[in-house]
Amino acid sequence: MLSPGDPAPDFGLQGTAYGDVGAYRLSAATNRAPAVVAFVPSDDPDSRSLLTEFAQTDWASISDAVAVFGVLAAGIDDCRSLAASLSLPYPLLADTHGVAAQFGVRIQDGHGQRAVFVVDQRCRVRAATLVDDADGTASALDTVLRGLAEL
């Protein structure tokens, strides 16, 4: 898994936000603001909890600007369905190109690791954490908040 200081692989993925489908590029987002990238392997209760926790976070109170992306190991139709069911206020991207593997996150057949990265405006990883089911989402959010505070 990538560590703080590592360059974040740029990606361009199809995603959905507010019911619309579009293309999203990490480098374009980080040109304007740091980014939080949450990888989830499937539409399961733990992935839903992580995505919901990030949806309920008041990002504007944390940073002047921050881009948030969820990345699901699924196709765009599954992303659209999950994003709608959770009313996500940020894009949910379809990882059909193995971007999770480029970040060092193991995902196979919809099973694997949930991981969160904070990427700065130079497209470098500032914080990274695996989301352990036993710890829930609190440790992931704490890591993200610390990473954003250090920018």
Domains present along the chain, CATH in parentheses: 12-149 (3.40.30.10)
Residue 141's CB: how many other CB atoms inside 10 A? 19
Residue 8's CB: how many other CB atoms inside 10 A? 23
Query: What does the pLDDT read at residue 16?
Result: 97
Confidence grade of residue 91 (pLDDT, cut at 50, 70, 90): very high
Confidence grade of residue 104 (pLDDT, cut at 50, 70, 90): very high
pTM: 0.92
Instruction: Kindly report which listed range (2-6, 99-103, 137-141) carries the lowest average pLDDT score.
Output: 137-141
- State the maximum Cα–Cα separation within the chain, in Å, rounded to a whole number: 37
Confidence grade of residue 126 (pLDDT, cut at 50, 70, 90): very high
Strand 107-108, strand 111-112: pairing: antiparallel
